Amino acid sequence: MSTATTPRTSHAQHSAPAGTARLSAWHVLRSEWIKLWSLRSTLWTVGLTVAVLVLLAWAMAAGAASFGDLSDAPGSATTVYTVLAPGQIFGSLVLVVLAALTVTGEYGTGQVRSTFTAVPARLPVLWAKGAVVALVAFVTAAVGTALSLALAGAIVPEMRPDWSDPEMLRIVLGTPLYITTVALLGYALGALMRNTAATIATVIGFVLVVESVLNLISWKPLEYVRPFLPSSAGARVATPQEFLEMTNQMATQAVDLSPWAGYAVLVGWVVAILAAAVVRLRTRDV
């Protein structure tokens, strides 16, 4: 390129700093933070997630304002859940893509060779990237959830959360928690599969298609499978008891998992896939 300035090789430039330079977990975390925010796709995805969550809440509130009758349970966890439920699905789908891309994008572009030359132990990168993804996903989903509730409450006063409802805190915090953990499922799968298209197809195909289909088929042995499907199980943490009982009736389950037990199942999936990714990372070439 003709825009290059003249390269130089003076002595002073080589005997530069680097005396205190040292690889550390904290430094790797900083590196991953810089990496995430120096890609335009990150801003786009984060913005899109908040926008989708708020739009869906607005749609639910507007729908309730024109048709619904919420006078029997104003501000209950069940009412608030109807505002947040669509966002739980779409929010996690968008953030799953962001989470998967942070790792598959490295393999797809060759960046991973620069990364692992700087951090040859490799595992610190997996943890640091996962931590950054989790933080960004949680804050994004939490901001989206808060804005959703504020907007819905402004349109329909009955939708304002009544914090005396014992389930309210679990539903409101469970929503970003569930979205974040599904995003981490995509991250773990991306670290294992190392391919963007395969990862996104697998995680979205599984969450959207496979789990729904398995919940529809009334074949007896599936009762033992349904409670342990990652997304359905994890969503229980952000679902009020009333809706959980409805779900159990529609798709019978051999075990009735509590909301937190269901969330633990989702976490178990993430941990298991991450473990497989760790094995591949340690033993395979890049």
Partner 1 sequence: MIEAHGLTKRYGSKTAVDGIDFTVRPGRVTGFLGPNGAGKSTTMRMIVGLDHPTAGTVTVQGRPYAKLRSPLTEVGALLEAKAVHPGRSARQHLRALAATHGIGDKRVDQVIEMAGLGAVASKRVKGFSLGMGQRLGIAAALLGDPHTLILDEPVNGLDPEGVAWVRGLAKHLAAEGRTVFLSSHLMSEVAVTADDLLVIGRGRIVAQGPVDEVISRATSTTVRVRSPHATELAAALSGPRATIDAIEPGLIEVRGPSAAEIGELAAASRYVLHELTPVSGSLEQAYMSLTADAVEYHSGIDATPTAPTTEPEAQR
Our finding on whether 139 is near partner 1 (CB under 8 A) is no
Our finding on whether 218 is near partner 1 (CB under 8 A) is no
Residue in 93, 114, 62, 263 with CA at minimum distance from that of residue 178: 263
Positions in 75-134 near partner 1 (CB under 8 A): 105-106, 109-121
Part in contact with partner 1 (CB under 8 A); list of ranges 19-27, 88-96, 184-192, 253-261? 19-27
Minimum Å gap between C-beta 282 and partner 1 is: 9
Q: Which is nearer to partner 1, 30 or 47 (CB)?
A: 30
Give the interface size with partner 1 as a residue count (CB under 8 A).
Answer: 50
Distance CA 172, CA 141 (A): 11
Part in contact with partner 1 (CB under 8 A); list of ranges 6-14, 48-56, 164-172, 185-193? 6-14
**Contact call for residues 184 and 177 (beta carbons, < 8 A):** no
How long is the chain? Answer: 286
Our finding on whether 213 is near partner 1 (CB under 8 A) is no
Our finding on whether 43 is near partner 1 (CB under 8 A) is no
**Could you write out the DSSP letters of every residue in the chain?**
-TTPPPP---HHHHS-S-SS----HHHHHHHHHHHHHTSHHHHHHHHHHHHHHHHHHHHHHHHHHHT---TTSTT-HHHHHHHHHHHHHHHHHHHHHHHHHHHHHHHHHSHHHHHHHH-TT-HHHHHHHHHHHHHHHHHHHHHHHHHHHHHHHHH-GGGS--TTSTTHHHHHHHHHHHHHHHHHHHHHHHHHH--HHHHHHHHHIIIIIIHHHHHH---GGGGGTGGG-HHHHHHGGGS-HHHHHHHHHHS--SS---HHHHHHHHHHHHHHHHHHHHHHHHHS--
Q: Give the HSE-up count for residue 72: Cα atoms under 13 Å, Cβ half-sphere.
A: 3
Among 66, 213, 249, 285, binds partner 1 (CB under 8 A): 285
Part in contact with partner 1 (CB under 8 A); list of ranges 36-44, 150-158, 172-180, 273-281? 36-44
Q: Which is nearer to partner 1, 18 or 213 (CB)?
A: 18
Our finding on whether 39 is near partner 1 (CB under 8 A) is yes
Q: Which is nearer to partner 1, 47 or 120 (CB)?
A: 120
Our finding on whether 221 is near partner 1 (CB under 8 A) is no
Minimum Å gap between C-beta 100 and partner 1 is: 15
Distance CA 128, CA 39 (A): 17
Our finding on whether 3 is near partner 1 (CB under 8 A) is yes
Our finding on whether 220 is near partner 1 (CB under 8 A) is no
Q: Which is nearer to partner 1, 20 or 66 (CB)?
A: 20
Q: Which is nearer to partner 1, 43 or 272 (CB)?
A: 43
Positions in 255-284 near partner 1 (CB under 8 A): 283-284
Q: Which is nearer to partner 1, 36 or 77 (CB)?
A: 36
Site residues, partner 1 (CB under 8 A): 1, 3-9, 11, 13-18, 20-24, 27-28, 30-32, 34-35, 38-41, 105-106, 109-121, 283-286
